[in-house]
Chains A and B, each alone.
Chain A
Amino acid sequence: MSARFKPGDRVAVRRAYPPGHIRTPFYIRGKAGVIERLCGSFGNPEELAYGRSGRPAQPLYRVRFRQDQVWPGYTGPAADTVDIEIYEHWLEPA
């Protein structure tokens, strides 16, 4: 499987807001984080939702974001994070 990113890479979530079945939450679009791990490759849910094959499988990553960089006015410690699984096609280098 050729994965574009590796653990430790800084990535940003694309600012795109299409309709349809999207598994990249609204709150994380446009935010930057760090690849925590490659989870593997899985069928694309955006296509599977329409009964299509979802192939080719897409690399899926866990990306770690600092909470104080996701939420304006976050009051917890700087070490607090949110980890989200994001498909490769939603990520670009930060």
Chain B
Amino acid sequence: MHDGHAHPHPTAPDHDGPLTDYQLMEIAVRELLIEKGVLTADEIRGAVEAMDARSPAEGARVVAHAWVDPAYKGRLLANGTAACEELGIDMGIVKLVVVENTADVHNVIVCTLCSCYPRALLGLPPDWYKSRAYRARTVREPRAVLREFGTAIPDRVAVRVHDSTADMRYLVLPARPAGTDGWNEARLAALVTRDSMIGVTLPRLP
């Protein structure tokens, strides 16, 4: 199972051969929207660039800051959106709920109905998060799903699944690994993987 390290996904070179109906549809819709003044080419380009610039490094930065600053962590758990904006992250209209892993609770996020995901903090969701298997199984057998990701949660720790069905978006605040006393935020952030902020894995160990 890959480890979801924090770098933006490369764009695949487009395939040779005729365009599919859906690729033609994208071209046509885009041209029409530009022609009719609904959008501009620059806006579309800018939105793609903004998407490329977002990666799990943003979420990792938030987690690392919460690990070193208990007051910030309190604010993050009370109002995720405001706390992220404190760090200069543009959350737009997103209502973020941050859920904390503790000695008693392990959190994992899923969107069974579609693919809701905290994109401002993690970039685009991985294919597996959007897959039928993840969406179907995580609510019903979370511990088995976690084991598939290599994560074993003991029975004394509750597993809490969050099904992102409406307007909130979720980020898991992983527990800070032992053996990191005195580490600076950048060093801590490097331990925080995308998958640990979805809740299917734990952070890297020092």
Contact = CB atoms under 8 A, between A and B. Distances in A.
Interface in B137-196: 139-140, 142-143, 155-156, 158-168
Interface string B73-99: 000000000000000000000010100
A70 B112 CA distance: 15
Contacts of A87: 166
Contacts of B168: 39, 60, 62, 85
B166 A83 contact: no
Interface residues of A, number: 25
A77 B159 CA distance: 9
A82 B161 contact: yes
B113 interface: yes
A45 B142 CA distance: 27
Contacts of B95: 39-40
A85 B163 CA distance: 7
Contacts of B113: 23, 25
Which of A74, A76, A87 is packed against the most chain B CB atoms within 10 Å? A76
Contact of B167 (A24, A60, A67, A79): A60
A45 B168 CA distance: 13
Contacts of A27: 112, 139-140
A23 B95 CA distance: 17
Nearest to A76: B143
A74 B95 CA distance: 31
B163 to A, nearest CB: 5
A16 to B, nearest CB: 16
A39 B167 contact: yes
Contacts of B163: 25, 82-85
Contacts of B140: 27, 71, 74
A85 B165 CA distance: 6
Contacts of B97: 39, 62
Which of A23, A67, A83, A84 is packed against the most chain B CB atoms within 10 Å? A83
A24 B95 CA distance: 19
The 5 closest A-B CB pairs, nearest first, are A79-B158, A85-B166, A82-B161, A42-B167, A84-B163
Interface of B: 95, 97, 112-113, 139-140, 142-143, 155-156, 158-168
Given A82-B160, A82-B162, 4 more contacts: A27-B140, A77-B156, A77-B158, A83-B160
11 contacts: A23-B166, A25-B163, A25-B165, A39-B95, A39-B97, A45-B166, A76-B155, A80-B142, A80-B143, A82-B162, A85-B167
